[in-house]
Homo-oligomer: A and B are copies of this chain.
Amino acid sequence: MRIGQLAQLVGVETQTIRFYEQQGLLPPPDRQDNGYRVYTEKYGEGLAFIRRCRILGLSLAEIHELQSYQDDPHQPCTAVNALLDDHISHVRSQITALQALEKQLVSLRASCNDDREVEACGVLAGISEGNMHQQ
């Protein structure tokens, strides 16, 4: 299987596969005589794992960490679970921050009812004067 087929199979771009390889998240595959990469189907599982981690918002560094745990399967999984707990709390604090931001934006938006000139726009005035009641 060549890189294009693997890419299609997993649903990534070929460059992304090369990028992961370069970053050390995927092992260098065998090469044909012409230099083309050759992959087994099993290789695709590793790639799919990375993609699912990315969909879960894990960073490449976190994925790398998970892989290192997989390489040592008889250790207790405390670190794996802790990594996920950390990530969950990252996500939660992002949500909190964005919710506060949304509130601010909505109240700013409420300060203008279209149909004004830019000069008198409540939104621009609100930002300019800094009446951004924080939090």
Q: Is the interface of A mostly helix, strand, loop or mixed?
A: helix
Copies of this chain, how many? 2
Provide the residues of chain B in CB contact with A116, threshold 8 Å.
76-77
Instruction: Evaluate contact between B105 and A87: CB separation under 8 angstroms.
Output: yes
Query: Can you list 10 A-B pairs, Cβ within 8 angstroms, ordered by A?
Result: A49-B127, A56-B104, A56-B127, A56-B132, A73-B118, A73-B119, A84-B105, A87-B105, A88-B109, A91-B102
Binding site for B on A (CB under 8 A): 45, 48-49, 52-53, 55-57, 66, 69-70, 72-78, 80-81, 84-85, 87-88, 91-92, 94-95, 98-99, 101-102, 104-106, 108-109, 112, 114-121, 123-124, 127-128, 130, 132
